[in-house]
Structure 1
């Protein structure tokens, strides 16, 4: 039998029934009660104390529920939580290696102070009290000098409320500079959603009920988020329902997702918008758009004809804004034949894809890093997302969802004294939101240049939380040079990473199996799910939760900073905000008191409120027009506002200031097209005569955001498709390799204008002739015995190109040449 819950298909088989029953017994045992006999696990010997603790994985941002088997205080097994909505008892390979993270012999076992030159690896232990006083003293001195803005907080894996907690710390202290890592991750998608729908976040998708998927540059099966949810969705789309959905993978290499798809469409790198625009052209010229969502012509004889403009009053739009402008300024001339020249996709294929997509509803057009992390990434993602509006797939079953936030209680307002108020008014160190990067929330990859003199001021102190810029950024060695110039650096990492080697103090965090931490699911199911990451074992070493440390630092700084953190520790903060879940009196846990609510949360591990509420248009279409905007008024208003500021400052006209800004953003479009989804040619680094190939970097299933290399289990499965483990490789098309005199397994140099790497060649028919591919994860110079000194890091030779409009790192703009070593 089956039931539906917020768009998620669930089947109760005998095996699943036994797993659910086992989990219920485990959570009952956790609460000190006897587990029911039905489906219970075999009892342990009387001398052993065994329990199953619900928690949350942290190997990627998915937030999968886990059950951890603990025997005599030692974690010995991790399984998927069978009732958690994201993973329903399943885990990807990364989820199983949590024990190798917890028991890693190379973990930092207590606070460390650098005693030698940066990067020399000379440390001495230091007590927590002394270390915290060193940090607090420096921060107090910065404030006393009226310079709190010179604190830079760089963060990465901010799950749950931790990102907002860091925001709170820097705001209370007086710095505008919390710079997260999402500009080197996938910021193009949230920005595109903001420009068209008004929400600046990733989208959820009702995969289980869709019939057709155009997947642009996203590793649907192996490397997108949330991984386990997508793996379950893939199985359901293919074999879990009477009508099998079609998955079309549009990508620059024959990835695992392409192999598992119904069709692989090879595409020239960075040309995704051109393909999406041509698909839109066909949908409109053949009359295949959704008239209920988009609207229709006022005269029945009217139609969209290639090359012909449409009068603005000839079409009455329903829930969209700017379709006629999009047609007249972009789409009317963007024929499949034109797109074929740009993309390398045959015109006949484009026409067929458009017809299939528009007539096999509900359909979804989605994209990620392969499309968005380009110099033209925002316009690529706008064009892709606009296809969903054309076929009426916005906020419908089988379409695009806007994730609902949980009803957490809001913390009290931040308390700011005059020093903090003056500090947060200083310009950001990364120029985010200025004419230089108008739509950026942060420009992580640009920090080296800003630190080394291009910024509005110098940086005195850097905090690092779950981020490793010396490994993860394009042209990563720039951060090494920048960090050498920063007077004081503190890293909260549990592992000695490349960046930690340049710190002055390391204040090691617990691993995720040792700490209290909330987790709010990645946009996916649509309805809210909040999970509780609770310690499954006592901390193994002298480490502390970074949330606790920030509270301790705030209290040590004193004054209004301390007043902004009234909680004893991070657990008390979580409990305080979770009062909102209890007070909502809805969802999967409803209890008469917060104490009873909390007790059940500890047992069950999560709170959820299904199903997804379709049709809340004020929330879903939160734009100036309250419609889906093909013509983005938000983009127009932002650029015109910045142009007015520049015009006033420079005493020039708005038109001149806007033209200068567009030139600085390296945009070719002018006029109305700037505010519409359109094709911007990708910018490449390197002379094509000297560097004839393009370098594509990608993630495998074993990729754990740079942390998977120190897991032997993940190293063993890193390159199964090419037969490589514990090392790197470069994939080369066999015809290209033959022309270069390269054989499978040869050692080769991959050289860019920035430098070169030596690795082994793997002849791979799934590589496009003009593109070579190197996976992320290897090439560490630190991070532990299993990671250090293995393979190469392609970031070392990636040129730091940027989509200036949104401040996004462009990972796919580097030209290379390959030759035998």
Structure 2
């Protein structure tokens, strides 16, 4: 600010008046306050209490400020290293969730025996005793009829106590059908890294030391995982590194990157293999990791095969096979025709990426991998990290995690009787492991629970009907593609229990509704999160407030109460397991009620972390009370190159470009069905055969719907404000929805490129009907250049018809605010991993002005 002579005189005059006035006595309003001067006292009104936000799978440590028993503010826990002591906007939204007036406040039961979306459940309040007794009667009936396999436990989000409810309880009752939501979350991205480097888990990246990053369909400063970590170092990352974002939508990350590659949805694989082609033909691979030609002369030439004996690999296996089978013809010109990205941009990104080696990151995410045939796409993305030597290397990709020393829960095999053993031996309800759904988690056929196939199994009674379902922290007929299938399936289930914080679409079909605590504010639980910022961690959820509602903890208190009720009916195995096998590590006391059971289970699980006598590498915490107070335990930083020199865990012990690990897994799956690997490739909708099955390769995008009838491609994305799909009933979510590029507050918009809109005669703000072979929804049109021509993109999260007074325009009439993407998304899978294919444009759409 410039200070002129005139303004200087004004400031001097005012300063002089203030100095003079400060010495004069003025009238004091003693009737309002006896204090006559400012006080230096700054006493805290309340206290900060540690907890954990589970608004995404980062599971960040937070602190909550409590005043007079009420949660008033949230911040990152300064003791947490994975998120730099920060939290993102999702954690703050939790304050509106916990005090949401639409919460389930007490147990309820259905009085209308008819089920269907058009049926009023006619819920009435009941006691906890009546609710638990009713559930126990249904389970005993299954056991009396040797039908325990027709019991199923459905899990959505969870804490580290989930192995009690999700793991032990179904097995002791006698059912193989504990069904997780994981396959509709992220299993496909794990597939790529497992079959190159034997790591099945969420990735972590050394953002602080990298020089180049390619984000494949990810938006890490807004959604995906580790948002507080990524956002907090983004400025430094942007100053130091070049960034490229591959996404048909101009996301927040794309807008802040050096390169935006608006790929045709589902064609990311073409880009990935073309980049690999450039790295090899232009001798940009990282030789200290990969190796080199024995004579030092690069023989990777377009269209030419290479003799395997001419190349000597160091940390990798099968590079020459990969080149000969899948890469030699995959030039940037070839990729440009398929991906819609200019040839020169592909060259530029590939060269810059290679020159940054080994500090270069290929960052996979669900946006590009959760597509039909996405398994081989994400393998190609992972293989790029091998080519530039960034796998398990500084400035690159973390291939595993440091140890988080926690205890396993006690074994329960002793409590599985003959009836339960017979039930546990039955085929699972989800079809995982069938020929067309390998679900090859950890090389095991059927290793993935294929969530979205459960609806088809119920509707077709294949392999049998379910009779009793208990579910928690989920809303499957909203969050799975093909929602109408789920409505039909839920209506067929004779008895369903929904354990939840808010009633929602799935609750509409329940027979018993049980109110549960909000995880961040009302329960004591350990949460072992995914690694981030080079740290493995465990955070604590503390009971920050006393809930005004009659709630019970889903993973501990409810199974305890059910165990007691089953004991009264002659089946004591479940409660015996809880009473006999769980004991306080400090006192040896066994639990006598559900609340004690919850605390003892938490102490047992975390005991190695808070017990100073247990040797470990990481934070030293002096006792149980200190762990609760601090709220987090951090490992030592990740030590790179642990897997180098033959320790990758693959079949060859090397980083695999030609995956012997996948070859064995596929052969095992094929043998299980008396089939060939080519038969598996055909059944899983892959286009390639033979050796292609074992290498990262290009698979063309799979589309549902005829192009003439459905001329555009539909894609979706997640909101920065989206707490795992549970934010729509919050005014803050609706009011600030326009923080997402292209979106609008208090609305639900389909973002259409103006070029396409002009052809269709659609103007900005028009009501439009989106129709696919699966269904239709009506939303507003938003003309936006940030959507690639030929593509319609829309945020996920709106379209609730049974959630709350803000999420729905009219709950009583079931009028949703906007549309649910899953109503129009085709219920197809990335079959190799068992993942739902919900992101990458496999569904074609027709847009019509209403």
- TM-score by length of structure 1 reads 0.90
**Deviations 1:655-708 (Å, cap 9, x if unpaired)?**
xx4333322111111111111101111211111011100011111201222211
- Higher mean C-alpha deviation, range 155-164 or range 782-791: 155-164
Partner of residue 451 from structure 1, selected from 451, 454, 458: 458
Taking the aligned partners of 1:555 and 1:388, their CA distance within structure 2 comes to 53
Q: State how 1:35-54 maps to structure 2 within 5 Å.
A: 42-44=42-44, 50-54=46-50
C-alpha change, 1:587 and 1:161, in structure 2 (3 Å) is farther
**Could you say if the C-alpha distance between residues 607 and 165 of structure 1 is closer, same or farther in structure 2, counting changes exceeding 3 Å?**
farther
The reply on whether 1:717 has 2:736 as its aligned counterpart is: yes
Secondary structure of the equivalent of 2:724? coil
Match 1:609 to one of 635, 660, 684: 635
Deviations along 1:116-136, one digit per CA (max 9) or x if unpaired, are 233514111111122112112
Aligned match for 2:723, one of 704, 720, 723: 704
Q: What is residue 554 of structure 2 aligned with on the other side?
A: 546
Alignment of 1:246-325 (within 5 A): 246-325=242-321
SS at match of 2:737: coil
Q: Secondary structure at the match of 1:296?
A: strand
Partner Cα distance (2:538, 2:66) in 1: 23
- Relative to structure 1, the CA distance from residue 641 to residue 600 in structure 2 (aligned partners, 3 Å threshold; closer, same or farther) is same
1:722-733 correspondence runs (5 A): 722=742, 724-733=744-753
Change (3 A) 1:588 1:405: closer
Cα displacement (A) at 1:553: 2.1
Give yes or no for the alignment of 1:491 onto 2:498: yes
Cα offset, 1:454, TM superposition: 5.3
Q: Any stretches of 5+ residues in structure 1 without a counterpart?
A: 1-39, 648-653
CA positional deviation for 1:60: 2.0
The answer to whether structure 1 residue 820 and structure 2 residue 826 are counterparts is: no
Q: How does 1:93-242 map to 2 (within 5 A)?
A: 93-116=89-112, 117-118=114-115, 119=117, 120-162=120-162, 165-239=165-239
Q: 1:86 offset after TM fit, Å?
A: 2.8
Alpha-carbon distance, 1:338 to partner: 0.9
Q: Quote the Cα distance in structure 1 between the aligned partners of 2:514 and 2:78.
A: 35
Three-state SS of the structure 2 residue aligned to 1:564 is: helix
1:750 to 2:785 alignment: no
Partner of 1:367: 364
- C-alpha separation in 2, matches of 1:456 and 1:485: 15
SS in 2 for 1:482: helix
How many Å apart are 1:143 and its aligned residue?
2.3
Tell whether the 8 Å contact from 1:152 to 1:461 is kept in structure 2 after alignment.
Answer: yes
Q: Deviations over 1:739-797 (max 9, x none)?
A: 11111111111111223222111110011110011111111001111111311112111
* Contact 1:702-1:715 within 8 A present in 2 as well: no
Question: Residues of 1 paired with 2:846 and 2:630: CA distance?
Answer: 54
The alignment partner of 1:516 has SS state of strand
Mapped partners of 1:462, 1:287: distance in 2: 57
Q: Which runs of 4+ in 1 moved over 4 A?
A: none
Q: CA deviation at 1:511?
A: 0.9
1:622 corresponds to 2:649: yes
Residues 335, 577 of structure 1: alpha-carbon distance in 2 compared, 3 angstrom cutoff: same
**1:622 to 1:530, Cα distance in 2 relative to 1, 3 A:** same
Within 5 A, what are the aligned runs for 1:343-358?
343-358=339-354
2:804 aligned partner: 784
Paired position in structure 2 for 1:6 = none
Given that 2:390 and 2:397 are in contact with CA atoms closer than 8 Å, whether structure 1 keeps it comes out as: yes
Local SS of the residue matching 2:523:
coil
Question: Partner of 1:451: helix, strand, or coil?
Answer: helix
Given the alignment of the two structures, is residue 73 of structure 1 paired with residue 99 of structure 2, yes or no?
A: no
Q: Which residue of 2 aligns with 1:418?
A: 418
Asked if the contact 2:737/2:745 (under 8 Å) is kept, the reply is yes
Q: What SS is found at the alignment partner of 2:705?
A: coil
Partner of residue 542, structure 2:
534
> 1:474: which partner in 2?
481
The match for 2:671 among 637, 644, 659 is 644
Worse-matched range after superposition: 137-146 or 264-273: 137-146
SS in structure 2 opposite 1:507?
A: strand
Question: 1:714, 1:620 → 2: CA distance?
Answer: 46
Cα distance in structure 2, aligned partners of 1:420 and 1:795: 36
Question: For residues 141 and 255 of structure 1, what CA distance do their matches in structure 2 show?
Answer: 52
Name the CA distance, whole Å, in 2 between partners of 1:163 and 1:382.
Answer: 31
Report SS of the residue matched to 1:79.
Answer: strand
Deviation at 1:587? 4.9
Does the residue aligned with 1:54 lie in a helix, a strand or coil? strand
Partner of 2:604: 576
Q: Are residues 1:564 and 2:585 paired?
A: no
Q: Deviations over 1:214-255 (max 9, x none)?
A: 00101122111122122113233125xxxx211111101111
Partner residue in 2 for 1:10: none
SS at match of 1:154: strand
Offset at 1:722? 3.8
SS in structure 1 of the partner of residue 728 of structure 2: helix
Cα distance in 1 for residues equivalent to 2:797 and 2:826: 18
Deviation at 1:391, TM superposition (A): 0.4
**Superposition TM-score, scaled by structure 2 size:** 0.87
Which residue does the alignment assign to 2:517? 510
1:487-531: CA deviation from partner (whole Å, max 9, x where unpaired) = 111111011110011111011111120101111122323432111
Does structure 2 retain, via aligned residues, the 8 Å contact 1:430–1:455? no
Match of 1:585 in 2: 615
Q: For 1:122, what is the secondary structure of its paired residue?
A: coil
* CA deviations over 1:393-450 (Å, ceiling 9, x no partner): 0111111112234110122212222222222221111121232211250111111111
**2-structure distance, mates of 1:561, 1:418:** 14
Distance (Å, rounded) in 2 between the aligned partners of 1:742 and 1:534: 51
Match of 2:706 among 678, 682, 687: 687
Encode CA deviations 1:626-668: one digit per residue, 9 max, x unaligned: 1111122222112212222322xxxxxx5xx433332211111
What are the Cα deviations for residues 452-485 of structure 1, in whole angstroms up to 9, with x where unaligned?
1252111111121111111111111111100111
- Cα deviation, 1:164-218, whole Å, max 9, x if unaligned, reads 7512222222211122112222211112222111121111111111111000101
Is residue 203–residue 403 contact of structure 1 (8 Å, CA) maintained in 2? no
Q: 1:554 to 1:247 in 2, by over 3 A?
A: farther
Counterparts of 1:95 and 1:190, CA distance in 2: 26
Could you say what secondary structure the match of 2:779 adopts? strand
> Is the 8 Å Cα contact of residues 93 and 714 (structure 1) preserved in structure 2?
no
Shift of the 323–193 alpha-carbon distance from structure 1 to 2, 3 Å rule, reads same
2:56 and 2:647 map into 1 onto residues whose CA distance is 27
Do the aligned partners of 2:402 and 2:635 also contact (CA within 8 Å) in 1? no
> Which 5+ residue runs of structure 2 have no aligned equivalent?
1-39, 441-445, 583-590, 592-596, 810-816
- Pair 1:471–1:146, CA change in 2 (3 A): same
Kept in 2, the 8 Å contact 1:63–1:86? The answer is no
Are 1:796 and 2:823 counterparts?
Answer: yes
